Amino acid sequence: MAATDHERDVQANRLESSQYDRNFSDIHPALNRHEALVEADRCYFCYDAPCMNACPTGIDIPMFIRQISADNANGSAKTILSENILGGMCARVCPTETLCEEVCVRETSEGKPVKIGLLQRYATDHLMNNAEHPFSRAKETGKKIAVVGAGPGGLSCAHRLAMHGHDVTIFEAREKSGGLNEYGIAAYKSVDGFAQSELDFILQIGGITIENGKALGRDFTIAQLAKDHDAVFLGMGLAGVNALGLDGEDADGVVDAVDYIADLRQADDLSKLPVGRRIVVIGGGMTAIDAATQTKLLGAEEVTIAYRRGAENMNASEYEQEVAQTNGVTIRHWLQPRALQRDADGAISGIELEYTKQTNGKLTGTGETTTIAADQVFKAIGQTFDGAPLDDTIVLEKGRIKVDADRRTSMKGVWAGGDCIVGGEDLTVAAVEDGKLAAESIHATLNA
């Protein structure tokens, strides 16, 4: 039974052609020099700065801001990049409102943190546009290291290893490198092909070879990799997605949000991307927010996020939720999917949702339901690690790779980091830190 009498409506070209550029332009335009100097003046150069402790990569924030103040933007960038070689992307995608900026003492004193993210972008952009790669390689060690996955985790690890003089080969399953920087991050956070420029910048260090289209588990085994290299780093991210567990999940109109976003990021012409008129997104994380916001920006008329708990439980920050809402997305809470509704052709026409409540920490359905008409239902209820390529050689925990504090796996000579390890935060910046820590550990081990 169809939820409404409307014809199902999924089509491209919903907007005037000029509107696409406007909708997908930089969400936080870069600061110019004047703006950066004014903002940098606000920093107190705190002792044992809270912001710095909140940065997963431990960037010396007061120092890099002071360097901007002192008109040394390239030096500032070097301070940033020495802890976080993807400082440029992190400046664009980090949820600073829950990291450094959340604890900035200016947030405490006046509710307005220093705009650390934008300052970081100012400095790193300045260096990438005006200067040479700021790091050089140590004397070559002759050691060979394999990195699986050219996402933020893999790239960070590779760069640090290359700096220490090792030779790195990155095996990347996809055609393009960058991982979710290239295929996942919302388009308006990383405009003008920044993921690829940053990749080029990272590779300028030298000593890193990337082999695209080479997948672990398909083209080679972990045992082979370990045998042919002095060390291995796994930065494979999350290849699977959680299922809704409903009948008709393979119906026309049920969309994997991550896949859709990847198509969007790779589209040469956004106007050619089909999008439903009414969309329901199931989930409460960054992926749900990004899928909802971007489909709305592609011209969907009604976009609703349905999340099974309250606003405060959402993985997406309050700020991210506001971004969606400001763009016209409706966020509804305490609703869980119960049944997919389909039209005569079997395609999606709506979704039935059940109200939920939480008692003693346990989520239960109340039995009451509601139906939302939809031409597309986006699944964004979390990604999963696909452990198949590991051939059961490495211990997993909660479905992801188990590592120690140095990011060593249970297999000798193999380290791992980023989204594929257990206990991670599923953030770009966390993956960068993992890669860096693993590289230092690998380096120390090989030197021992």
Partner 1 sequence: MADLTTEFLGIKSPNPFWLASAPPTDKAYNVERAFKAGWGGVVWKTLGEEGPPIVNVNGPRYGVIHGPDRRVLGLNNIELITDRPLDVNLREIKQVKRDWKDRALIISLMVPCEEGPWKKILGEIEDTEADGIELNFGCPHGMSERGMGASVGQVPEYIEMVTRWCKQYTRMPVIVKLTPNITDVRYPARAAKAGGADAVSLINTVSSITSVNLDTFSPEPSIDGKGSHGGFCGPAVKPIALNLVAEIARDAETRGLPISGIGGITTWRDAAEFIALGCGNVQVCTAAMTYGFKIVEEMIEGLSDWMDQKGYTSVSDFTGKAVPNVTDWQYLNLSYVTKAKIDQDACIKCGRCHIACEDTSHQAITSMVDGERKFEVIDEECVGCNLCVDVCPVDNCISMERISGVDPRTGVEINPEYANWTQHPNNPASKVAAE
Ligand X SMILES: Cc1cc2nc3c(=O)[nH]c(=O)nc-3n(C[C@H](O)[C@H](O)[C@H](O)COP(=O)(O)OP(=O)(O)OC[C@H]3O[C@@H](n4cnc5c(N)ncnc54)[C@H](O)[C@@H]3O)c2cc1C
Per CB under 6 A, residues contacting ligand X are: 93-94, 148-154, 171-174, 179-180, 184-185, 189, 215-217, 235-237, 239, 258, 261, 286-287, 290, 389, 418-420, 426-429, 431
Which of positions 188-247 make contact with ligand SF4 (CB under 6 A)? none
Piece of the chain touching partner 1 by CB under 8 A; list 14-22, 106-114, 121-129, 325-333: 106-114
From the list partner 1, ligand X, ligand SF4, none, which binds 385 (C-beta under 5 to 8 Å, kind-based)?
none
Contact with partner 1 (CB under 8 A) among 2, 12, 27, 37:
37
Residues 86-105 that bind ligand SF4 (CB under 6 A): 104-105
Q: Are 297 and 15 in contact (CB under 8 A)?
A: no
What's the CA angle centered on 194, arms 235 and 19, to 5 degrees? 125
In contact, 280 and 340? CB cutoff 8 Å: no
Residue 285 burial (CB count, 10 A): 19
β-pairing, 240-241 vs 231-234, is unpaired
Does residue 262 interact with partner 1 by CB under 8 A? no
Among partner 1, ligand SF4, ligand X, none, residue 151 binds (CB under 5-8 Å by kind)? ligand X
Nearest CA-CA partner of 402 in 416, 383, 385: 416
- In the complex with ligand X, the residue whose CB is nearer, 225 or 373, is 225
Strand pairing partners for 170? 147, 210
User: Which strands sit side by side in the sheet containing 362-373, from one edge to the other?
Assistant: 335-342, 348-359, 362-373
User: What are the C-alpha distances in Å from 163 to residues 89, 265, 404, 436?
Assistant: 20, 31, 23, 11
Dist. CA 267–CA 261, nearest whole Å: 10
Considering only the stretches 39-47, 179-187, 227-235, 378-386, report the one whose residues sit in contact with partner 1 under the rule CB under 8 A.
39-47
Nearest distance, CB of residue 36 and ligand SF4, angstroms: 13
CB neighbours of 155 closer than 8 A, spacing ≥ 6? 85, 86, 170, 177, 178, 179, 199, 202, 435
Strands (E), 151-300: 167-172, 208-212, 231-234, 240-241, 254-256, 275-276, 278-282
Q: Which helix (H) or strand (E) holds 341?
A: strand 335-342
The nearest distance, CB 38 to partner 1, in angstroms, is 5
**61/157 with CB nearer ligand SF4:** 61
Options 46-54, 156-164, 261-269, 273-281: segment touching partner 1 (CB under 8 A): 46-54
108 binds partner 1 (CB under 8 A): yes
User: What residues contact residue 32 under an 8 Å CB cut-off, 6+ apart?
Assistant: none
Residue 51 CB, nearest approach to ligand SF4 (Å) = 3
Q: Which of 19, 30, 50, 214 binds partner 1 (CB under 8 A)?
A: 50
| Min dist. Cβ of residue 105 to ligand SF4 (A) | 5
Binding site partner of 116, from ligand SF4, partner 1, ligand X, none, Cβ cut-off 5-8 A by kind? ligand SF4
Minimum CB distance to ligand SF4 smaller for 3 or for 59:
59
Indicate whether 61 belongs to the interface with ligand SF4 (CB under 6 A).
Answer: yes
Q: Which does 286 bind (CB under 5 to 8 A by kind): partner 1, ligand X, ligand SF4, none?
A: ligand X
The reply to whether 49 sits near ligand SF4 by the rule CB under 6 A is yes
DSSP-assigned letters across all residues of 98-144: GTHHHH-HHHHHHS----HHHHHHHHHHHHHHHS--S--PPSP---E
Partner from ligand SF4, partner 1, ligand X, none binding residue 108, C-beta < 5-8 Å depending on class: partner 1
In whole angstroms, the minimum distance from the beta carbon of 108 to ligand SF4 comes to: 9
> Helix 318-326 and helix 286-297: axis angle, to 10°?
10
Location of structure tokens 């903002």: 39
Q: Which partner from the list ligand X, partner 1, ligand SF4, none does 332 bind, CB cut-off 5 to 8 Å by kind?
A: none
Distance of alpha carbon 145 from alpha carbon 219, whole angstroms: 17
List contacts with ligand SF4 (CB under 6 A).
43-46, 49-51, 61-62, 65, 104-106, 114, 116
List contacts with partner 1 (CB under 8 A).
37-38, 41, 44-50, 105-106, 108-109
